[in-house]
Amino acid sequence: VQLQASGGGLVQPGGSLRLSCAASGFTLGYYAIGWFRQAPGREREGVACSSSSEGSTYYADSVKGRFSVSRDNAKNTVYLQMNSLKPEDTAVYYCARDKTYYCSPYGPRGDYWGQGTQVTVSS
């Protein structure tokens, strides 16, 4: 099982980025995928989740209305579209395979983790 997040970078406040999570070694369509972030000195936060096929999603209150998840199972890729970015969104972002096919209403549950990608929001 491997996951690799990419697409991070430096963006100005109010800008947008789209992160990608490339999955391999398992059937993406059978699992939910969670997005997490960790800023220096802060605990890791689960920010979003994309279910395998039953339609459930999860967004942390801190990103609700600004971030959205989508997936292309045929390409084994999950996306995190981040709009209206704020300096407090600065963090290393990770994707992780969830433990099951649906998104918990309490947040994503990481099972297998990929390497993260740095997102910096600054003017």
What pLDDT sits at residue 52?
A: 83
pLDDT at 54 over 80: no
Q: Work out the average pLDDT over 23-37.
A: 95
Number of other residues whose CB lies within 10 A of the CB of residue 27:
10
Phi, psi of 68 (to 5 degrees): -145, 145
C-beta separation of 23 from 77 below 8 A: yes
Q: 25 — alpha (psi -120 to 50), left (phi > 0) or beta?
A: left
What pLDDT sits at residue 53?
A: 72
